[in-house]
Chains A and B, each alone.
Chain A
Amino acid sequence: NAGVTQTPKFRILKIGQSMTLQCTQDMNHNYMYWYRQDPGMGLKLIYYSVGAGITDKGEVPNGYNVSRSTTEDFPLRLELAAPSQTSVYFCASSQIQSNYGYTFGSGTRLTVV
């Protein structure tokens, strides 16, 4: 099993550019999440999804969009990149019963210049 796969691993964007961070899981998990990690701040929830076609905002959704057309895929879209979006982004998934915890991808390091 590949688990949760994120692409790309690294990316440099110019201010105002757009991009999509890809996330795919092969565990048939219904719940999927996007977090950003900044030094000394822990992980902050951007968006999450409880199943195909259902998404909701987390703690820091501004500047991002998501879609969930299939159970497997949960891409994160940055429309107008800003320096404040420089961060490490993690995708995660979990079973319906959340006491199993999350399975995390290996992350995408994004720099906006």
Chain B
Amino acid sequence: AQSVTQPDIHITVSEGASLELRCNYSYGATPYLFWYVQSPGQGLQLLLKYFSGDTLVQGIKGFEAEFKRSQSSFNLRKPSVHWSDAAEYFCAAGGNKLVFGAGTILRVKS
């Protein structure tokens, strides 16, 4: 069965520190891969996506993600976190139907 695993339910980082959110997927073939962000009470906003080509993809708000086929991973990174990055982050994988991970809540401490 197709699945997406986000191992970390909560992560707390200091403002200005680097960030990495983990995502692993289980899929029959290399799926399309996405990261979304959700602020409290809001819908989901697309941060970035991967479907082919360069394995390091750039997104909005200074985020990037690296696709590693050998590890079935698509980890999200940011070099320097801002307080406004505090939100819940979802990894998703699939074709025309996306499967979402359970989400990682990011807290930023000043």
Contact = CB atoms under 8 A, between A and B. Distances in A.
A98 B32 contact: yes
* Chain B interface, >50% SS class: strand
19 contacts: A33-B98, A35-B100, A40-B9, A40-B103, A42-B102, A45-B97, A45-B98, A50-B96, A94-B96, A99-B32, A99-B49, A99-B51, A101-B32, A101-B34, A101-B46, A102-B44, A102-B98, A104-B44, A107-B43
B42 interface: yes
A43 interface: yes
B43 A106 contact: yes
Contacts of A104: 36, 43-45
Contact of A98 (B43, B95, B100): B95
Contacts of A94: 96
Contacts of A41: 102
A50 B95 CA distance: 12
Contacts of B34: 101
A4 B103 CA distance: 22
Interface residues of B, number: 24
B34 to A, nearest CB: 5
A48 interface: yes
B25 interface: no
A-side interface size class: 20 to 34
A74 interface: no
B90 interface: yes
Contacts of B9: 40
A94 to B, nearest CB: 8
Interface in B7-65: 9, 32, 34, 36, 42-46, 49, 51
A42 B44 contact: no
B29 to A, nearest CB: 14
